[in-house]
Amino acid sequence: MATTCVKRAFKYRFYPTDAQTAELSRTFGCVRKVYNLALAARTEAWARQERVNYNQTSAMLTAWKKTRELAFLNEVSSVPLQQTLRHLQVAFTNFFGKRAKYPRFKSRKKSRKSAEYTTSGFRFRDGKLTLAKMSEPLDIVWSRPLPEGAKPSTVTVSQDAAGRWFVSMLCEDPGVRPLAAADGAIGIDVGLDHLLTLSTGEKIANPRCERKDRARLAVAQRNLARKQKGSANRAKARRKVAKVYARIADRRRDHLHKLTSKLVRENQTLVIEELTVRNMVKNRKLARAISDAAWSEFRGMLEYKAAWYGRELIAVDRWFPSSKLCSTCGTLQDRMPLHVRTWTCGCGTTHDRDVNAAKNLLAAGLAVTACGAGVRPQRRTPGGQSATKQESPRREP
């Protein structure tokens, strides 16, 4: 079986020394400053109906370094500063291609703290990583080994809101290769009572990671609200809140990784439903539960793992009435209120709402594979009811 090397990021936690912390903090500030200056220059040019490209902003950076006000930019490595200009160029390319909104300025408090180094900005030898302007290697916790003989092409250093330091190394991973063909094909219906319901009838429980830490989060947020703005105690309280959120996100991501890896290993074809989560979270009664379920993150993991391992992922149109359609005889029900979790069709078949939806998704996905045609959207049923996905009626406590 032919293999192709996949670019893969390996992320590790590290513990910087005081000198490294000061150097990285200066670098983060300079990266943010250069990005905002370049964005302001390009915005002014845009107002004059002119376009400024990466090469022009790179020349501007050279000029800025020669001024008295911005001479501090010379104190950090030039590689992350050049990389942030390239990132800005990509942001504008996506904007002009109508794939993203207009780039926004980076905030000191809210923006992600990160800096990217290319091969000229770091040294990786004998399993030790040393960044430019630093005399000592980073103290990295190697939670898993890099691929044998792998050499990072880029290194990204970041600090999250909880104060944790991470380094991400982009390497070619020859170990990622298509798996042997599997016979399985499965339909997947996402939900809230159960995170996933499979066409086989199996239901996977929703871990509700945010709910488990809700009491701890409430205490941390109340303590934060009592602290005076701008004080050191408020900064400490903010980090405690961030640590609770980080704990929730880590548990959720770990669960989704294990779940998606299992599904991709065992099935050749996976069929899911196209959902517009950004519209669904507008429902104030279910927004918290939908966000905690992380359906978008689940789909993203399925997409790249299916591409890595040679699996087929099919997304059925969200207007396809999977819940109302009898998977046995094909009869379409006029109405299917949210509180109805089991129902009996005229043909005598009793359906579990979610299992029936998963079976219908699988049938629609296999039809796409066989005929090469998409599932025709059905925005309205004969009864006049919307055929959009209907989730659990229970309010998240």
In this predicted model, what pLDDT tens digit does every residue of 257-293 receive, in sequence order? 999 999 999 999 999 998 888 888 888 888 999 999 9
Among residues 116, 210, 273, 391, the one annotated as catalytic is: 273
Res 377: pLDDT: 37
Residue type, position 311, single letter? R
Q: What is the pLDDT of residues 71-88, one digit of tens each?
A: 999 999 999 999 999 999
Among residues 23, 210, 292, 354, the one annotated as catalytic is: 354
Other C-beta atoms closer than 10 Å to the C-beta of 256 total 21
> What distance in Å separates the CA atoms of residue 73 and residue 133, rounded to the nearest whole number?
13
Nearest to 90, CA basis, from 103, 80, 104 = 103
* Confidence bin at 224 (pLDDT 50/70/90): very high
For 224, the token pair is 């934060």
Q: What is the mean pLDDT of the chain?
A: 89
Mean pLDDT over residues 24-43, rounded? 97
pLDDT of 110 strictly over 70 = yes
Q: Residue 156: helix, strand or coil by DSSP?
A: strand
Nearest to 338, CA basis, from 197, 191, 187 = 191
Cα 386 from chain centre: 29
Res 376: pLDDT: 41
Delimiting residues of CATH 3.30.420 domain(s) in the chain: 185-207+247-371
Q: How far is CA 47 from CA 20, 50, 61, 211, in A?
A: 40, 7, 21, 47
Res 333: pLDDT: 84
> What distance in Å separates the CA atoms of residue 309 and residue 185, rounded to the nearest whole number?
15
Cα 29 from chain centre: 25
Active site residue 23: no
Nearest to 117, CA basis, from 138, 102, 142, 93 = 138
Active site residue 352: no
Asked which of 112-116, 152-156, 309-313, 315-319 is least confident by mean pLDDT, the reply is 315-319
Highest CATH level, class, for 185-207+247-371: alpha beta
Nearest to 114, CA basis, from 32, 18, 23, 12 = 32
* Confidence bin at 4 (pLDDT 50/70/90): low
Res 338: pLDDT: 77
Res 373: pLDDT: 46
Q: What is the pLDDT of residues 163-187, one digit of tens each?
A: 999 999 999 988 888 889 888 899 9
Res 394: pLDDT: 39
* Confidence bin at 375 (pLDDT 50/70/90): very low
Res 372: pLDDT: 57
> What distance in Å separates the CA atoms of residue 114 and residue 158, rounded to the nearest whole number?
4
Among residues 116, 189, 292, 391, the one annotated as catalytic is: 189
Other C-beta atoms closer than 10 Å to the C-beta of 4 total 9
Active site residue 254: no
Nearest to 156, CA basis, from 302, 347, 10, 364 = 10
Residues ≥6 apart with Cβ < 8 Å to 371: none
What's the predicted TM-score (pTM) here?
A: 0.83
Nearest to 322, CA basis, from 353, 296, 291 = 353
pLDDT of 374 strictly over 50 = no
Dihedral angle sign, alpha carbons of residues 236, 250, 149, 79: negative
Query: 209 exposed, middle or buried (CB, 10 Å; 0-12, 13-18, 19+)?
Result: buried
Q: Which residue has the tokens 């709402």?
A: 353
Mean pLDDT over residues 290-299, rounded? 94
pLDDT of 344 strictly over 70 = yes
Res 332: pLDDT: 86
> φ, ψ for residue 381 (rounded to 5)?
-90, 165
Mean pLDDT over residues 232-246, rounded? 95
- Does 382 or 241 have the greater pLDDT score? 241
Helix segments in 136-286, DSSP class H: 209-212, 214-226, 232-266, 277-280
pLDDT of 256 strictly over 90 = yes
